[in-house]
Amino acid sequence: MAEAVDLKAIGTRPIRPDGIDKVTGRAAFGADLNLPGMLYGKVLRSPHAHARIKSVDLSCALEADGVLAAISGADLPNESPSDLAKNVLARDKVLYHGHAVAAVAAKTLAQADAAIDLIDVEYEVLPPVLSIDEAIADGATLVNESQHTNGDTSKPASNVAATTMFERGDVDAGFAEADVIVESEHRVPTAHQGYIEPHACTATANEDGKSTVWCCTQGHFEVRSLTAQVLGEPVGNIKVIPSEIGGGFGGKTIIYLEPLAVKMSQISGRPVKMMMSREEVFRATGPTSATWCKVKVGAKNDGTITAATAWLAYEAGAFPGAPVGPGCMSVLAPYDLANFRIEGNDILVNKPKVCAYRAPGAPQSMHAMECAIDELARKLEMDPIDLRMKNAAGEGTQAPYGPTFPPVGLKECLEAARKHPNWTSPVPEGAGRGLAVGFWFNIGMQSSAEVRIAEDGMVTVMEGNPDIGGSRAGMALMAAETLGVPYEQIKAHVGDTEATGFCNVTGGSRTTFATGMAVIQACEDIIAQCKQRAALTWDLDEDQVDWVDGEAVPKPGVNADVKPLSLGDIARGAGRTGGPLLGRASLNAQGAGASFSVNLMDAKVDKETGKVDVLSFTAIQDAGRAIHPSYVEGQMQGGAAQGIGWALNEEYIYDAEGVMENAGFLDYRVPVASDLPMIDTEIIEVPNPSHPYGVRGVGETPIVAPLAAASNAVRDQLGFRIDDLPLSPPRVLEAIDAQG
Amino acid sequence: MGAYAYLAPSNVSEALAALQREADAGNRTQMLAGGTDVLVQMRSVDRGERTFVDVKHVEEANHLDIGDDEIFIGAAIASAILFENEELKGILPGLLESSDLIGSTQIQGRATIGGNLCNSSPAGDTIPALIACGAICVIASPGGNREVAVEDFVTGVGTNVLSATEFLIGFRVPRPQGKSSSAYLRFIPRTEMDIAVAGAGVALTLDDSGTCTAAKVSIGAVAPTALVVPDAAAALVGSKVDDAALAAAADACSVAASPITDKRGTVEYRRKVVGVLCKRAAGIARDRAAAL
Ligand SMILES: Cc1cc2nc3c(=O)[nH]c(=O)nc-3n(C[C@H](O)[C@H](O)[C@H](O)COP(=O)(O)OP(=O)(O)OC[C@H]3O[C@@H](n4cnc5c(N)ncnc54)[C@H](O)[C@@H]3O)c2cc1C
């Protein structure tokens, strides 16, 4: 349990093991694998946002120069294909512009490019559904004619795929008690994860029916099971080897190309490599939901919140599965409330199927609520920190989604904000200051780890979570701490699906928490074995041996005249004491502690152009325990950069036919380095009692609060609120002009 | 991608001969300067076969002459080199700040003003600045050099007056005299690595009392080609370039603009912002001139 221990490795900032390969360019990413005889695969994508596929004719493409395979949806198992399978290759309908319709593999990329133009597809074009408003309007065109809300076929088909509700207390009575009520609605646009590395994979199928896939992914075990599912093959037929990953942020938790590459390799007998262009990444891979959120919150004059409601509608894209559930879970999580009602709606539109993006669903709903809370503080003439403090969730608060919080760090973050120079210093002349709270519940799930000791005592940690944020360094630090050996003695590896035990995806901020716990337990397994080997060597009982600072020693009071045995000593003699040292652990981690944050932002609007400049930004977040503080800070800064980008400029712009107009980084504007100030960070450590060292996931919370922090800062300067995002120059100038 | 050939002539006559030879052979040619537009286009919108004729080795296109009456700027000189020239920066600050806005440090090491003009994008940053300072294009042509004012050079989106056997050698720019200066501003939603939503270049001359005696205003990204805005200049001339004159110049730019609504901005937004940019650029040019 997480009592204050004297930590040696944890909390230090060593160089990451993958660092040298990355800065020297040696690291191999998804597109870097080349195999002899390899073909290049290309996808034909729908030119329509919504259409029925009447026919697909591959014959001309198959005859084209260099082409050795061509497939359409008909070539995949077609007995009730899953949504995922239909997303990978469209069947009867295309559901968004860019939806994959067919694929070819040819000897050169140019031949593959030329061949997809020879595929003849006949479409019956249907009207596209392009917004929540259109989707829920009476008589709306249906994205999926057999979709009924919550599967209830007694009601007519609907674009509302699902609804969820979280409720407690008596909302009407709560509002009746309130002295002040704030009500508002907010829209947040579609945003892409914007990982620098486009999706890429190479697959090779053997004559024995077994296939190997190399790809960039956040979870190769999921790639294995999903690819097997789409191809209708046993999981055991597929081996997946993850490459280094150039960013994922949730977007690389599902599959797009892998089944196509495997299938075309099976047909051609050659390896097939597939790489998306940036444009394909924008048009066809998971962005996150555009949303429409209506919130209402009431409080007494002393600041006690008496009731709150939220109505959340999230675009799912072409298939059900918007992150509206987590949006509901997060929206009121910072507050200890007696009365609330949260309603979530998962809404189909003719846009790409959404995918996880860092704290999926939380930034949008919490943007709305944190704007409302800011207005509430203004109406109450109360300091926004005081107002939040008064209602803050803490240990023992029942979260809106059910469980009771163990120790959580919201109050500590608020107190730190109150003392931070970004809060205590005067607001710069003519600028505005915004504050907002962020939250993510974090997840546990399944992990495995193995720890192997070489004959010289070198430690190999083998686990199965692709390293997207420095997790190998974190694993090595936790192993070093547990074993009591130096960090440099440890090598952490991410094993492929056949080299290591099952690990769920690197996502939900679970890796350092859950896989870290497996690594710690595997190290404890090693320690137990070492004690046993030492006991054997010394002719003592196992319980007479201790493990101290990386060495087996007789327990205090045990009368034995022996020299301590280091890991290396025991490993060298392992042949005499029972064979190689191999520690193992597997678990389904429980108790992922929630991570709260408070963000502060100073911003200045150019009132003649509408441009918002970020003058300063501070991220304060509870990490439970920062294993490698630099990588915790990196997560906080990276999430802040993404959140600020989303708040200020990022958005999908569609034309009337549902074609995205800004499918590239020139016009889909993530911030460049010069757009941002140095993002200040303050790590709060309220240990998570469920983790041996107190770890909470930290990867996702950082993107949540920047959206409202930006809105609140702009509100502070302008004196009126702009409800929707992004706060792009045209929107801000229009709002200023509308004020006259 | 098709097949590409590459030629690197060392002077104007060799370059003209190369262009002619390729044309006679029925080959498509394209001039290549920094390649910062060409290479991007070659990998995306325009993959066709062609012969590249590199202007970076053409001696005359690398000349920089700062004379008493006139300045010559070779079309092949990289922005980074121009921007390091403190003397030139003092004389033509508007033009140099416009070329300094292009891209990043890496792009700056290759990109040229000539390439920016010849690419003939409506949003090319140096174009309004070139127009404001009265630059004239010196064009190598089979029959001898010919000259065209920059404002007459671009004929539409991505098109210009050059024929397949001609190329741009450089620019003649009248050297500003007395209290004359210039400025260029553009608006982008980011701080760099973006494309102008609107741009405004202003050059003006003040007399000893601070009254504006001459001015030229050009705006970019608000029409298919950069526009000269005589009404904006007229609003400045005769004034002390005070708030009223600046507001009038701004209005003239907003009126002259004929932008489109697209993913980068609406008609209304661009009209407004181009006026704001003109106002601000004129204020900067005024302050610079007054300080001379
Ligand atoms: C990351 C990035 C950022 C950018 N940012 C900006 C920006 O902020 N503002 C902006 O305006 N542009 C920007 N650009 C576009 C480009 O860099 C500029 O237009 C640059 O000035 C082009 O110069 P170049 O020498 O590279 O031209 P090239 O790419 O070599 O040529 C451009 C065009 O001009 C023709 N050409 C070149 N020289 C001659 C000549 N002497 N005679 C005849 N024809 C010629 C070429 O055939 C070609 O059609 C950016 C580009 C990139 C890649």
pLDDT band at A502 (very low <50, low <70, confident <90, very high): very high
Q: Is A277 on the interface with B (CB under 8 A)?
A: no
Determine the residue type at B86: E
Residue nearest to atom 53 of ligand 1 (CA): B36
pLDDT in tens, A561-613: 999 999 999 999 999 999 999 999 999 999 999 999 999 999 999 999 999 99
- Residue A123 CB neighbour total at 10 angstroms: 18
Q: Which helix (H) or strand (E) holds B132?
A: helix B126-132
Residue of B4, B28, B31, B41 best suited for mutating to test ligand 1, as the one with most atoms within 8 Å of CB: B31
CA distance B167 to chain A (A): 29
Centroid of chain to Cα A666: 24
Is the pLDDT reported for residue A2 higher than 80? no
Where residue B47 falls among pLDDT bands split at 50, 70, 90?
Answer: confident
Domains A33-126+197-246+252-284 and A287-442+593-739 share a fold: no
Average pLDDT over residues A381-404: 98
Q: HSE-up of B8 (CA within 13 Å, CB side)?
A: 3
Residues in chain B: 292
Q: Minimal CA–CA distance to A547: which of A569, A514, A515?
A: A569
Q: Reduce the DSSP state of residue A200 to 3 states and report it.
A: strand
| Number of other CB atoms surrounding residue B179 within 10 Å | 19
CATH architecture, domain defined by A33-126+197-246+252-284: Alpha-Beta Complex (3.90)
Report the 3 state secondary structure along A320-344: CCCCHHHHHHHHCCCECCCCEEEEE
**Which one, of A374, A378, A313, lies nearest residue A346 by Cα?**
A313
Instruction: Give the model's pLDDT for residue A425.
Output: 98
Chain A residue nearest residue B261, CA to CA = A730
* pTM for this entry: 0.96
Kindly state whether A661 is in contact with chain B, defined as any CB-CB distance less than 8 angstroms. Answer: yes
Contact A611 B191 (CB under 8 A): no
What gap in Å lies between CA A288 and CA A645, rounded to an integer? Answer: 14
Residues of B within 8 A of A734 (CB-CB) are: 268-269
Report chain B residues whose CB lies below 8 A from the CB of A666. Answer: 194-195
Second CATH level (architecture) for the domain A19-26+444-589: 2-Layer Sandwich (3.30)
pLDDT average, residue stretch A139-149: 97
Residues of A in contact with B276 (CB under 8 A): 608-609
- Given a contact cutoff of 8 angstroms between Cβ atoms, the answer to whether A116 and A127 are in contact is no
The interface residues of chain B toward chain A in range 24-63, judged by CB-CB distance below 8 A, are none
Say how far apart CA A296 and CA A372 lie, in whole Å: 7
Band (B2; pLDDT cuts 50, 70, 90): low
- Segment A500-522 shows an average pLDDT of 97
Identify the H or E element spanning A589.
strand A582-589
Q: Which residue of B has its CA nearest to A662?
A: B263
Q: What's the pLDDT at B1? A: 47
Contacts of B192 in chain A (CB under 8 A): 672, 674
Residues of A in contact with B268 (CB under 8 A): 734
Answer whether B162 contacts ligand 1 (Cβ < 6 A). Answer: yes
Q: Which residue has the higher pLDDT, B33 or B265?
A: B33
> Which band of pLDDT confidence, cut at 50, 70 and 90, is reported for residue A5?
low
* Separation CA B94–CA B129 (nearest Å): 6
Contact A728/B at CB under 8 A: yes
Give the nearest partner residue to A675 out of B190, B195, B268, using CB atoms.
B190
Segment holding A461, helix H or strand E: strand A459-463
Span A418-429, mean pLDDT?
98
How sure is the predictor about A68, in pLDDT bands with cuts at 50, 70 and 90? Answer: very high
Per-residue pLDDT tens digits for B185-212: 999 999 999 999 999 999 999 999 999 9
> What residues of A are in contact with residue B187 (Cβ under 8 Å)?
609, 611, 729
On the question of pLDDT at B130 being above 70, the answer is: yes
Torsion of CA A119, A122, A126, A130, to 10 degrees: 0
- B112 CA distance to ligand 1 middle (Å): 6
Contacts of A737 by beta carbon, 8 Å cutoff, 6+ apart:
none
Task: Report the residue among B116, B148, B190 best suited for mutation to probe ligand 1: largest number of ligand atoms under 8 A from its CB.
Answer: B116
The residues with which A546 forms a beta bridge, in sequence order, are A553
* Amino acid, res. A619: A
Q: State the distance from the centre of ligand 1 to the C-alpha of B118, rounded, in angstroms.
A: 8
Q: What is the arithmetic mean of pLDDT over A134-157?
A: 97
| Residues of chain A positioned with their CB less than 8 A from the CB of B254 | none
Structure tokens at B138: 């010196």
Averaged confidence pLDDT in chain A = 97
Chain B interface disruption, residue of A672, A725, A736, most B CBs within 10 A: A672
Sign of CA dihedral A652, A368, A348, A88: positive
Backbone φ and ψ of A624, nearest 5°: 70, -75
Query: Which of A217, A262, A257 lies closest to A235 in space, CA to CA?
Result: A262
Q: How far apart are CA B79 and CA B76, in angstroms?
A: 9
Which pLDDT belongs to residue B35? Answer: 97
Ordered domains of chain B (ranges, CATH): 4-54 (3.30.43), 64-174 (3.30.465.10), 179-290 (3.30.390.50)
Structure-block tokens of residue A97:
């512009």
Question: What does each C-alpha distance from A455 to A229, A479, A534, A535, A569 come to in angstroms?
Answer: 42, 18, 16, 19, 8
| Strands B159-160, B154-156: pairing kind | antiparallel
> B185, B280 in Cβ contact below 8 A?
yes
Which sequence spans correspond to the domains of chain A? 19-26+444-589, 33-126+197-246+252-284, 287-442+593-739
Residue A219 CA to residue B245 CA, distance in Å, equals 63
Asked if residue A323 has a cis previous peptide bond (ω within 30° of 0), the answer is no
Contact yes or no for B193 and A672 at CB 8 A: yes
Integer Cα distance of A623 and A150 in angstroms: 37
Question: Hey, is the C-beta of A666 within 8 angstroms of any chain B C-beta?
Answer: yes
What is the CATH T-level fold of the domain A287-442+593-739, as seen in this structure?
A: Aldehyde Oxidoreductase; domain 4 (3.30.365)
Structure tokens at B184: 């260029």
Nearest CA to ligand 1 atom 50: B103
| d(CA B121, ligand 1 centre) in Å | 9
In short, whether B42's Cβ falls inside 6 Å of ligand 1 is no
**Two tokens at A461?**
């940690």
Phi and psi based region of residue A425 (left: phi greater than 0; alpha: psi -120 to 50; beta: remaining)? beta
pLDDT at A4 over 80: no
Q: How would you list the strands of the sheet with A565-566, edge to edge?
A: A545-548, A551-554, A565-566
Average pLDDT, chain B: 96
- Asked whether B109 lines ligand 1 (CB < 6 A), one says no
The answer, for A664 touching chain B at a CB cutoff of 8 Å, is no
CA atoms of A209 and A211, how far apart (whole Å): 7
Most B CBs within 10 Å: which of A280, A667, A732, as the mutation test of the B interface? A667
Which residue, A105, A67, A70, A32, is CA-closest to A272? A105
> Quick check: A614 pLDDT over 50?
yes
Per-residue pLDDT, A386: 98
Residue A433 near residue A602 (C-beta atoms within 8 A): yes
Q: Which of A113, A608, A731 to mutate to test the interface with B (most CBs of B within 10 A)?
A: A608
What's the longest Cα–Cα distance across chain A? 89
pLDDT of residue A1 exceeding 90, the answer is no
- Report the gap between the CA of B36 and the closest CA in chain A (Å): 14
Cα A405 from chain centre: 22
Q: Is the dihedral of CA A357, A362, A368, A373 positive or negative?
A: negative
Which residues, listed in sequence order, are joined to residue A44 by a DSSP beta bridge? A102
The reported pLDDT for the residue numbered A3 is 47
Task: Tell me whether residues B192 and A730 touch, CB distance under 8 A.
Answer: no
Q: Facing residues of B199 across strands?
A: B186, B220
CB contact (8 A) between residue B1 and residue A667: no
Q: In the 8-state DSSP scheme, what is residue A403?
A: P
Rg of chain A over Cα atoms, rounded to whole angstroms, equals: 27
Cα of A644 to nearest chain B Cα, Å: 12
Cα A646 to Cα A668: distance, rounded to the nearest angstrom: 10
Q: What is the pLDDT of residue A189?
A: 98
Task: Give the whole-angstrom CA distance, residue A296 versus residue B141.
Answer: 71
Q: Note the pLDDT tens digit of each residue in A703-738.
A: 999 999 999 999 999 999 999 999 999 999 999 999
B75 lines ligand 1 (CB under 6 A): yes
What are the residues whose beta carbons fall under 8 Å from the beta carbon of A236, sequence distance 6 or more?
none
What's the rounded Cα separation, in Å, for the pair A102 and A76? Answer: 11
B93 in contact with ligand 1, CB cutoff 6 A: no
Is residue B83 less than 8 Å (CB to CB) from chain A?
Answer: no
Would you call A608 and B191 a contact, using CB atoms and an 8 Å cutoff?
Answer: no
Q: A 107-126 residues with CB below 8 A of B? A: 110
Q: Which residues of B touch A648 (CB under 8 A)?
A: 189
Helices and strands, number each (H, E), in chain A: 21, 28
Share of chain A above pLDDT 90, in %: 98
Quick one: pLDDT at residue B43? 85
